[in-house]
Amino acid sequence: MQIDELVEKYEKSIKGKVCEFVTICEVIREMYEISEVIPQEDLKKELQARLYSSYDMAKRMNKKLREYKHDWDEGFWQVNSDFEKDLKRRKKHERN
């Protein structure tokens, strides 16, 4: 994919309301994917180095927030009784 195509693909989500289900790590992964098409190798490596740093910061922030409220995700892995409803809601907000 060319850079222009990628900009067009992500432009809607940048200008519109960001989906409430997207995590910072997911955004960083998307940015890394976009960086793969940059033709200048030195620019690509510089950007990817910063993305690695951002990903690390996001993970450390998550760890620190867990220290503040250690049980915030209690029950997260339990069976979701309204899975179908959640799935429909996520599809509605899905990024293009």
Neighbours of 28 (CB within 10 A): 19
| Cα separation values, 55 from 9, 28, 40, 71, Å | 22, 7, 22, 23
Tell me the whole-structure pTM to 2 decimals.
0.54
pLDDT, tens only, 17-70: 555 667 888 888 888 888 888 889 999 999 999 999 999 999 998 888 888 877
Cα 70 from Cα 23, distance rounded (Å): 19
The DSSP code for 1 is: -
- Looking at per-residue pLDDT, the higher value among 18 and 11 belongs to 11
Confidence of residue 89 (pLDDT cuts 50, 70, 90): confident
